[in-house]
Amino acid sequence: MRRSRSLAGLMILGLIAVGCSTARTSNTSRTGIEQLLLSNAVDQTLDKVALPPMEGRKVFLDPQYLDSVDKGYIVGSLRQRLLANGALLVDAKDGSDVTIEICSGGVGTDDVDRYVGMPGIALPGPMPIQLPEVRLYQRKSQFGTAKISVVAYATADGHLLFDSGTALARADDSSWSIMGIGPIQTGTVRDEVRTATNHSSLISTRSARSSDSSTIVR
């Protein structure tokens, strides 16, 4: 009995010395990290789609087969890439040279929670003690996955011009802690945020944009 009480006392002292942290906070219906997970996965997926040259061709982007969250971002990103590829985007299928259809096999997030520790235990006896759950190591991960395909065909006769096949990518965001130390955050989304908010990166980005603008003006 004395041994059980001594063990319980040591564990309680350990718990007093260990802190805890809660990372999830949102003032909107979806957290910023969740949205970045999906947009990051979409960007990676579209990077795998090598669009054919569209220089000077009238292109109609048909999103009727795209049914997913963040549909606006997916369509907008593809429009941006088509414009950068020289396409002349039109708002109606009639009169276009090429029709492009986009569809999704899945755009969403998943959570995984892993830990090493001990569940809460009730110790019986004359003075019963309820020991709380102890997590010595904990890792929480959230994943954003996007699976997209793009096809292009001649509007006039419907013959296939381009088929991207299925492109799939995944973004991740993880946080882990050991004995209450943490959370330490890692993942592709955190890397993207760090790069985008780095002052030197902003300067180089602005310089690149200024250079692009001057090139366009010329």
The tens digit of pLDDT for each residue in 105-123 reads 999 999 998 888 888 888 8
CATH of the domain at 84: 3.40.50
Number of domains in the chain: 1
- Is 216's pLDDT higher than 50? no
* Residue of 109, 108, 101, 107 lying closest to 78 (CA atoms): 101
> What CA–CA distance (Å, rounded) separates 165 from 148?
8
Task: Name the residue range of residue 180's domain.
Answer: 31-116+135-209
The tens digit of pLDDT for each residue in 52-96 reads 889 999 999 999 999 999 999 999 999 999 999 999 999 999 999
Q: For the whole model, what pTM was predicted?
A: 0.70
| Burial class, 157, CB count within 10 angstroms (exposed 0-12 / middle 13-18 / buried 19+) | exposed
- Tell me, yes or no, whether 25 lies in a domain: no
The tens digit of pLDDT for each residue in 11-29 reads 544 444 444 555 556 578 8
